[in-house]
Amino acid sequence: MRIAIIGGRQRNNIQLERLAREAGHEIELRDGDLHGSGVQEIRTAVMRSDVTVILTAPNSHGAVSVAKATAKQRGTPTLIVDRLSAARFKGLLEAVGRRKELGWPWGLGQTTETPVLMRALAS
C-alpha cells in the first residue's frame, strides 16, 4: 500500500520510512511547502496514494486544503491528525494490516471517522 504523508517536521521521516518498509508499505513524504512546485507535488503524492495522512501542525492552511481537496476528488481515504509520531504511525500501519486481513476494502471517501483507524490511533 502507498501512503502519502503531507506536512509535519522532517526529523522523524527516516523512522517513518523504516516502519512503512518493514510493514511492506511505501510512503511518500511532503512537507507542505507550497512554493515553487509544492502544490503540484502535494497533488501528485495524494493522487498516487492509497491512503493520505494530513498533518495540521506544522502545516499551512493552504497545504491542508490542497491535500484535502485532492483526496476528496480522487476518493482517497484520508486521516487528518495534528502530529504523527512513530508510535501513532505504527498504529496506523497495524490498523491497515488488520483491515486487509479482514478483507475490508477502503471504499471511496472515507475520512478520519473510519472506526478501525481511530481506535488504533487513540492510544
Which residues lie closer than 8 Å to 103 by C-beta, 6 or more apart? none
pLDDT averaged per 10 residues, the chain (length 123): 86 91 92 85 94 84 90 89 90 81 55 46 48
Q: Which three cell numbers stand for residue 86?
A: 512513530
pLDDT of residue 105: 57
Residue 53 lies in domain: 2-122
Which residues lie closer than 8 Å to 37 by C-beta, 6 or more apart? none
pLDDT of residue 109: 44
Q: Is 4 left (phi over 0), alpha (psi -120 to 50) or beta?
A: beta
User: Which CATH number characterizes residue 92's domain?
Assistant: 3.40.50
**pTM for the structure as a whole:** 0.79
